[in-house]
Each structure stands twice: as C-alpha cells, then as structure tokens.
Chain A
Amino acid sequence: MDLRSSDPLVVAGPRSEDALPETAAAAVKIVIVGGFGVGKTTLVRSVSEIRPLTTEETMTQAGVGVDDTAGVERKTATTVAMDFGRISINRELVLYLFGTPGQQRFWFLWNGLFEGALGAVVLVDTRRLEVSFDVIGRLEERGVPFVVAINTFPEAPPHPVEELRAALDLPEHVPIVHCDARKRDSSRDVLLTLMRYLHSLALSTEAS
C-alpha cells in the first residue's frame, strides 16, 4: 500500500474506472457496526463498487478495560482502522458504507461517523452477543435508527429471530434479518431492510 516517495508525493489514487462522475454532487453514509471478526468488511466488500479502502484514526485515549481482541487482531494501541466501500446510487448521489468496531473503547470514532449518517446496521455474530448489547444501547442513546443483521456462520447454532429479539432486548419495531455477508444479494438486502425501515420512520414522522 505504501507507494510514497519523497518529493513529489506519489500517491496511487483511484483506478480510472473507480473515479466518480463529474455529476456526483452529494453523498450519504450508512455505518456497519459490530465486533471484530463479525464480517463488517466482508459485507462492505460484497456490495461495494470499489475494493474496500481503509482510513485510520488515532486514538485520543488509551484503550482500557478487558481486551477481548486476543487472538483476533493485534494492532498498535494508538491507531484504529475503518474499512469502507462505495455504491453509486445514481449520477448525482453516492452511498458510502463504513465498518466500525463496536467495542466501547472505539466509541470515540463515532462522533464524526454517525453525524449525518442515514442509519446503522448492527452486524451480529450469535456466538458473541455481548458486544451487540453495548452497541445497541449506545445507538438508542444517540437516536441513530438501526436494523440488526445476523451474519450466518456455518458453525453457529441456528437461532430463531424472536429468540434473538428477546436476547438482545430489541423493541418490536426494529427489524432483525439473517444474512450471509459474503453474498452480494444478501448484503444488499440488509441495506434495503435498513432503507425500508428508515422510509417507514420518515413517513410516520411526516404524517404526525
């Protein structure tokens, strides 16, 4: 990835087929949030029109608390990476998808991320529900509309949706869907579930 030389700065930009058209005038974003290894980047990759890119941000506070990333990922303590992808909705409008870790010590990333976001997808691995509790609570606190997508891992025990709703203490109106983040159609359907949910929320707000 590192293609820098000293002067001038040589930067590998987007491939010409990845360049946005001149007509691209506005962009919106959806945030995919979940624990390490749950499949955020996989989901982004399956629907993105570009190879997922990574942006890094420096932590402003030391990570404290129990480190549950052991064996999953080893990063320097000061930098957090966010993977993201892009979908051109039409000639003018571009949708960006950002994957962000759900653990509490990464919430400092959320400020710029959720501001102006359409909504969020909470990607859940049924083998590690505990990360999702905190995330869902935090999204509710911030007033970010979200749907829950259960990424289906072959080795994970099957859970009926209503059992998971109870386990996650989710209100009746919040959609829960199963998905296979490796599949483009399935990942797209997760995004559509979120958009249809936002649509119903917007219509009910307009009506009131």
Chain B
Amino acid sequence: MSESGQGWEEGSPERLYVITGGRSGGSETSTLDLVTLVRARTGPPPGMPPEQAAIVRLCSSPLSVAEISAYLNLPVSVVTVLLTDLLAEKRVEARSPIPPANLPDVALIEAVMHGLEKL
C-alpha cells in the first residue's frame, strides 16, 4: 500500500474524474461488456496518458474488460470510458462477447459443457 506521497487517494472521485476527463460512461460505451476481450493493435505512442498507455501494454495479449479493471485497480465504468477512446483511436480492438440473447444457442452451450467436462 503506497498511499503516502500521492496527492490523492487511489480511488477518489477526483482522481477518477481527471482520468476520464470528467466523463462517466454513457450510452456510447454500451458495446463494451465485462467480458469483451481487448487486444492492443500497437504499442503505446509517446505522450499517451499513463492510464491509457497501461491498458495498451496490458493488452499485448487478449484481456477482458474485467481483468483490465482488476489489474489497473480502476472501476469498470472508468476503464470503459478509457477503452472507448482507445477503440476510437484504433489503438486497441475489441472482440465482442457472444451477442446477448434470451437463451444462448445450443452449440455454444455444448462447447462450454465439453470444456468443463475436460477440467
């Protein structure tokens, strides 16, 4: 724990506000799910804000939004805002989760069943 020497608390609203430029994640971010897999297209360019650069480095192999949030120690809502920018700038690509439906299809369910049976 290294709270000392920092001007503000890790999860303080002020800090999160600054990281996202004051945005809270509205409707434009709704395509990102907790389990959307994110993969970097390039390395972080010089001058990229530290949180964005950290995401790009983390995603050198595919990583879910939830994992990015956990490793960065930032709320999912904040990570979602940052990812939306990175997607728009084509720094990362998103591999979408299975489209939500009332019930997932049989082939998908069978794939998960077979995977679990092998555990």
Contact = CB atoms under 8 A, between A and B. Distances in A.
Given A11-B72, A20-B62, A98-B34, A196 B113 contact: yes
B34 A113 contact: yes
Interface in A20-50: 20-22, 24-29, 47
Nearest to A116: B100
Contact of B37 (A8, A11, A24, A90): A24
Contacts of A202: 103-106, 109
B36 interface: yes
A7 B50 contact: yes
Chain B: number of interface residues, binned into ranges: 35 or more
B18 interface: no
Contact of A96 (B11, B34, B111): B34
B103 A96 contact: no
Interface of B: 1-2, 10-11, 13, 33-37, 50-51, 53-54, 57-58, 61-64, 66-67, 69-73, 75-77, 95-100, 102-106, 108-117, 119
Given A116-B98, A198-B104, 14 more contacts: A2-B1, A2-B2, A14-B58, A20-B63, A24-B95, A25-B37, A57-B76, A90-B111, A94-B64, A112-B76, A118-B112, A199-B106, A202-B106, A202-B109
